[in-house]
Amino acid sequence: MSPEQSVALIGGAVNLVVVMVSVLIVPGLIVGLVVSIFQAATQIQEQTLSFLPRFIVTLLTLIFTGNWLLSQITTLFADLFQKIPGLIG
């Protein structure tokens, strides 16, 4: 296995991980920003107020995108397992 092949495999895996994490984190960040703006506008300084909406949005995002996330990671590993015999010898 050449270094270029190793870098390509690791790069593809890292790229997929970044995309998968972004799908889960970005909606929570947006909701956190909206809640923070609401707290600043109303001067409510409750720490737990921002936790529950972000948690709910993250769970809903996981529910709605879970099938896609699972199919992406399954495709990555299926491709990797199919490439192993060619990469070894």
Q: What is the pLDDT of residues 55-71, one digit of tens each?
A: 999 999 999 999 999 99
The pTM is what? 0.77
Q: Per-domain residue ranges for the chain?
A: 24-79
Find the DSSP H helices in the chain. Answer: 3-42, 51-88
- Expressed in angstroms, the distance from the first to the final Cα of the chain is 8
Question: How high is the pLDDT of residue 19?
Answer: 95
pLDDT range class, residue 16, cuts 50, 70, 90: very high
Nearest to 22 by CA among 68, 56, 53: 68
- Cβ(23)–Cβ(53) under 8 Å? no
Residue keyed to tokens 């997929």: 16
Interatomic CA distance for residues 54 and 7, integer angstroms = 35
pLDDT at residue 49 is higher than 90: no
- Torsion over CA of 27, 48, 35 and 26, rounded to 10 degrees? -10
